Amino acid sequence: MVDEVLAKSFERIGADYDRYRPGFPAAAADLILPERVRAALDLGAGTGKFTELLPERAEQVVAVEPSSAMLDVLKAKLPGVEAMQGSAELIPAADGSVDVVTVAQAFHWFDRDPACAEIARVLAPGGTLGLIWNHSDPASTWDRAAHRIAHPAVADEDGTTSSAAAVLPGFEHVRNEQIHWAERIRREDYLKRWSTVSSFLVADDDERARMFTAIETVLDADPDTRGRDEFDLPIVTDVFVYRRD
């Protein structure tokens, strides 16, 4: 079941989310949209971190996001995108109006069954649904340690904090792949990135300070990050592709 407090914690951030959260590799969009399509809808679009990959792959791009703070950033950044406030359970789009729906770093916040029904409704027959998540690379011991500090209840053995079911109601599972890549990031920005995740947003000041201190301790101890102002952050992007039944 979705934790509503955690889900709503993003409603008060926008610019910081866009500045500090990682983007997505172009290869992820290529897996979902191997050819240019008529219309694509990015659902739970946030500040447009994945949306920005769609204009060169679709004639029309629609972004749907519940947070007005995030949507304001998206509109300023991507003026050519049709941006609308809405939810996965009530998508402001006509039946069969889009060829592809993408969901990046957001599907785990949805009420799965009604969201799948809405996505199927707005997709054209045979349309594609793509689910994308960035997560910690198992090879990066220091980033995995930071994830365990921030997400102790959900971080699993390989560092993944989100996954998609192979079976979604109304959809046929087509494929899933992992993309391994790395982001060059400043230590200061890596720490500020954690301030944009749900567990930090809902924590009180003391708990937030404790988590920041614990993550700094990890960075100070690991040979890949110790004494460095900038370092390479390995990231794994999971891509799940489905087709509407």
> What are 187-233's pLDDT values in tens digits?
999 999 998 887 888 888 999 999 999 999 999 999 999 999 999 99
Q: Rounded to an integer, what distance in angstroms lies between the CA atom of residue 114 and that of residue 130?
A: 17
Q: The dihedral of CA 149, 152, 154, 155: what is its sign?
A: positive
pLDDT of residue 168: 96
Q: What is the 3-state secondary structure of the chain?
A: CCCHHHHHHHHHCCHHHHHHCCCCCHHHHHHHCCCCEEEEEEECCCCCCCHHHCCCCEEEEEEEECCHHHHHHHHHHCCCCEEEECECCECCCCCCCEEEEEEECCHHHCCHHHHHHHHHHHEEEEEEEEEEEEEECCCCHHHHHHHHHHCCCCCCCCCCCCCCCCCECCEEEEEEEEEEEEEEEEHHHHHHHHCCCHHHHHCCHHHHHHHHHHHHHHHHHCCCCCCCCEEEEEEEEEEEEEEEC
- The least confident of 17-26, 35-44, 51-60, 82-91 is 17-26
Instruction: Label residue 160 by pLDDT band (50, 70, 90).
Output: very low
Global pTM?
0.87
Residue among 189, 181, 106, 194 at smallest CA distance from 146: 194
Q: Which pLDDT belongs to residue 199?
A: 80
pLDDT for 9-20, tens place per residue? 445 566 888 899
Which CATH superfamily, name and number, covers 4-137+157-183+234-244? Vaccinia Virus protein VP39 (3.40.50.150)
Note whether 38 and 57 are within 8 A (CB).
Answer: no
Percentage of the chain with pLDDT > 70? 89
Q: 164 pLDDT band (50/70/90 cuts)?
A: low
Average pLDDT of the segment spanning 88-93:
98
Please state the separation of Cα 177 from the chain's center in Å: 16
Which residues sit opposite 134 in a β-bridge? 237
140 vs 162, more confident: 140
